[in-house]
Structure 1
Amino acid sequence: MTKRKSTDDFLSLIKDGEDIIIPLTNGEPKILLDVLEENAFRFKGVRIHQMLTLRDRAYIHGQYRGSLEHVSYFLSGATRKAFLQGQCELVPNHFHEVPKIMLATTKASRVVACASPMDEHGYFSLGTQADYAASFIGKVPFFLEVNKQMPRTFGANQIHVSQVEGFIETDYPLTESGSATVTDVDRKIAGFIAERIDNGSTLQAGIGAIPNAVISQLENHQHLGVHSELISDGIVDLVEMGVIDGMLKNTYKGKIVTTFAFGSQRLYDFINNNVGVEFLPVDIVNDPREIAKEDKMISINATTEVDFFGQCASETIGGKYYSSSGGQSDFARGALFSKEGKGFICLHSTTRDERLSKIQPNLSPGSVVTTSKNDADMIVTEYGVAELRGKCIADRAKALIAIAHPKFREELLFEAKKQGFII
């Protein structure tokens, strides 16, 4: 029996009360979700579970409540407003635990995902993805949207035709992420980090201007490796320069290890048929115990606010939810466990209008801690690096005040003494 199906065949598989799991970013099956949304009122209690949703849809905003609803595990531009207005749900999580959470708390009825065309051996690839979806291969039914433009990649993101309920064939370009504008402030912060990265280190870099700026300043380094939840365009530059070769890694020597790729078409062309890039499920890539197997592990992530304890509020802005934890805490802990590992949390010293310091005695009301005080290693602004690991609270406060914007330092010092942080 052929596994090539129609969209009507797909709809006939969906039953009331199902929990459908969708991969993040370009793993999102555009056509199948279009069809599901168009037929939402045929169903009752179907819930779609996804991180970092690409496309804004009516069901995300509660327009098919009771029929088709959205559950987010990391907010994006498509879901942020809907969550703040109470139109969809958000499940707190560490990224590496998402597969475990989904298996424990949902029916995990099926995974519906994009894939590259089947090869001569009957295998599809999840392309730009492994994320949590790859963790369900062999455990949960899959229905695939096969996109001719999805790159074929390697690792533990392969699924055989015998393991899928069916697939449809499509042909449309992948979504490209816009490059974050790198400012002079970003470059200063990146410079403090780059000079602390030793040759032979293994990198994890999050999304944003500062991680991109760091990568751009590593062109004179040697024998760097990559073990990162995300890879983006900057990684391609360093590979082509010979800076990244992975030859000093302890695991997957010579390989770039990731759980998803999101960037420009140049990046998608780079990973296509590239055996040097290993796509592994997030419960492997982001497990702090796996991360720690690499010596000189470097974790680079961003935050929005830091208090004198070293607590980093990275998923809220002014006390309102913006994203979620993602893999920041996973890699902060993994870097601490790593031999000679270093964890960097970066932020501008002030808000964009320079009216408020982002280093505060206490976090703003409503803020959510992403990286705890116990996991904070080095906090970096354009004014320097505050090394927190192993320091008492008084010394932490002094170190953080020293990298605050100069116009706020006197005020912060006064407040630190008033609140008893500094005697």
Structure 2
Amino acid sequence: MASSIAETIAALRRPATAVLDHVGRGAQIVVNSFNGEPATVLDALEAGGDRLSDVRLHQMLAPRPRPSIEGKVPGLRHVSWFLSPATREAFHAGHCDLVPNNFSDVPRLLRRSAAPDLVVASVSPPAGPGYFSLGTDATYTAAFIGEVPFFVEVNAQMPRTYGANQLHVNDVVGWCEANRPLVVPPSPEVSARDRAIAALVAERIPDGATLQIGIGAVPDMVLASLGDHRELGVHTEVFGSGFVDLAEQGVITGTRKATHRGKIVTTGCLGTQRLYDFVADNPGVEFHPVDYTNDPWIIAREPVFRAVNATLEVDFLGQCASESLGSEYFSSSGGQPDYARGAIMSENGAAFIVLHSATHDDTVSRIVPQLQPGAAVTTFKNIVDNVVTEYGVAELRGATIAERARRLIAVAHPAFRDELTVQARDLGYL
């Protein structure tokens, strides 16, 4: 007689060390991101490192430092797809690797370059007819459901969420238990500059727009400024805490969306416990793989899209360095280029790149003639739409190089505008 779903689930319960039975020499393992990281499973892999050889762990945004990240487990090599505070020093020291990418392309790149053998993730407890949920982080791992076997950690505190993030027990080779609170990042400090930038962006968001807004001081202030709006929709990479008030106030309804009407669509969420409680068992929030949420063609189907993302430095051509200052890497491209392109492809869409006009002490301009040597161009000049500082909005799309230079100088810190004008002339831009 065939076993029941409940019996199948019970039979697959294992200690975390059982993951080692599914990892051979040269194995390529995909590890879910941030709160989706299965800490107990990674602990077991590191503890059993003497049994492993040439195994690679592929992960974006590691939430905490680990011996394998720091190159201290000979059988394991960490491959980062987006640097975090837990991986930056290790990368600069040569202990782990970094793969340049656009977030939307990560599943495809992993298939081509790594051909994964196993996915490890933290999931919600099983429910219904044998389904686990990937909880707060569908991201790139959801793209491998049905393709690659999963070994999962069932975290009692992981919220059950909905969307294309449902993992059936038939795709699981083993699971272990955990009971661990989700990470709640510290609230960002908000400055007068942040408030000024947010106000400039908020006044350019009409009723009925579909939003992609990241996490951080400016995004939170933008969302806090939208309380009088109506019928907003959400199709975003990261669903942050700032959206919750708007959803509970009835500002976010999604009724004018062209796709997933009435639904909030995201690939991950990160924020407060209130946020995690909001997405738990909430069919109004759908988590989808990043190759769907960040696909520019999908984004462009929304007729009035607004994308808001931050950068570190912008040059006179409009090139945005969002992941490094010079050759010093801080992060990676993430979804910024995906949403910048999707927003301008939207019929009445617009994208905003936000940054302070200068460093915190006003000694270095963030609007520059040329990016620093070695800088990685995250969002290139042809798809940059609007650049926003606390001094205004520089509309770049369709503008000549001379117009771009003038408009960017106009939103630069006043202390640098004369010098920047001279430099623009020296470059032949003015």
Instruction: Identify the TM-score tier after normalising by the shorter chain.
Output: over 0.9
Q: Which residue of 2 aligns with 1:403?
A: 411
Q: Which residue matches 2:370? A: 362
- Residue number in structure 1 paired with 2:24: 15
- Residue 337 of structure 2 aligns to a residue whose secondary structure is helix
| Cα distance between partner residues in 2 of 1:418 and 1:103 | 47
Q: Distance in 2 between matches of 1:352 and 1:85?
A: 28
Equivalent residues in 2 for 1:379-418, closer than 5 Å: 379-418=387-426
In the alignment, what sits opposite 1:50? 59
Task: Give the distance between the partners of 1:416 and 1:162, measured in 2 at CA.
Answer: 62
Q: Secondary structure at the match of 2:265?
A: strand
Partner residue of 2:211 out of 187, 203, 217: 203
1:348-373 alpha-carbon deviations (Å, 9 max, x no partner): 00011211100011001121100000
Candidates 347, 363, 372, aligned match of 2:355: 347
Task: State the distance in 1 between where 2:187 and 2:145 align.
Answer: 32
Counterpart for residue 5 of structure 1? 14
Percent of pairs with identical residues: 53
CA contact (8 A) 1:305 1:313 kept: yes
Corresponding residue number in structure 1 for 2:99: 91
Q: Distance in 1 between matches of 2:46 and 2:25?
A: 14
RMSD of the alignment, in Å? 0.9
Letter matched to residue 339 of structure 1: E
User: Is 1:148 equivalent to 2:156 in the alignment?
Assistant: yes
Tell me what 2:46 maps to: 37
Post-superposition Cα deviations, 1:183-217, rounded to whole Å, max 9, x if no partner, equal 11000000000000010000001232111111111
**How far does residue 87 in structure 1 lie from its aligned partner after superposition?**
1.1
Contact conserved, 1:293 with 1:338, CA < 8 A, in 2?
yes
2:134·2:160 contact (CA, 8 Å) conserved in 1? yes
Distance 2:119 2:65 in 1: 20
Post-superposition Cα deviations, 1:7-64, rounded to whole Å, max 9, x if no partner, equal 2322222211101101111110011111111111211001100000001001111112
Query: C-alpha distance in 1, partners of 2:365/2:326?
Result: 12
8 Å contact kept, 2:17–2:45? no
Distance in 1 of aligned mates of 2:193 and 2:300: 31
Which moves more between the two structures, 402-411 or 6-15? 6-15
CA distance in 1, matches of 2:215, 2:67: 27
SS where residue 44 of structure 2 aligns? helix
Structure 2, unpaired ranges of 5+: 1-7
Alignment match of 2:145 (pick from 137, 145, 150):
137
Q: State the 1:120 CA deviation.
A: 3.0
Q: Secondary structure at the match of 2:235?
A: strand
Shift of residue 224 of structure 1?
Answer: 0.4
Query: Residue 204 of structure 2: SS of its match in structure 1?
Result: coil
Aligned twin of 1:291: 299
Q: Deviations over 1:374-422 (max 9, x none)?
A: 0100000000000001000000000000000011000000111111010
The letter for the 2-side match of 1:5 is R
Whether contact under 8 Å (1:18, 1:107) holds in the other structure is no
Residue type matched to 2:229 in 1? Answer: H
Aligned to 2:182: 174
Per-residue deviation, 1:6: 1.7
Counterpart position of 1:268: 276
Alpha-carbon offset, residue 318 of structure 1: 4.3
Match of 1:103 in 2: 111
**For residue 121 of structure 1, what is the amino acid of its counterpart?**
P
Q: Distance in 1 between matches of 2:23 and 2:15?
A: 13
Query: TM-score normalized by structure 2?
Result: 0.97
**Where does structure 1 lack aligned partners over 5 or more consecutive residues?**
none
Q: Structure 1: which 4+ aligned runs deviate by more than 3 Å?
A: none
Secondary structure of residue in 1 paired with 2:308: strand
Task: Give 1:367's aligned amino acid.
Answer: A
Q: Is 2:183 the partner of 1:212?
A: no
User: Are residues 1:378 and 2:350 paired?
Assistant: no
Aligned to 1:116: 124
Mapping of 1:179-258 within 5 angstroms? 179-258=187-266
Deviation readout 1:98-130 (Å, 9 max, x if unpaired) = 000000001301100000001131110000011
Q: How many residues align?
A: 421
Cα distance in 1 for residues equivalent to 2:18 and 2:250: 48
Which deviations, in whole Å up to 9, do the C-alpha atoms of 1:148-195 show, x marking residues without a partner? 110000000001111110111111111112221111100000000000
1:317 positional shift: 2.4
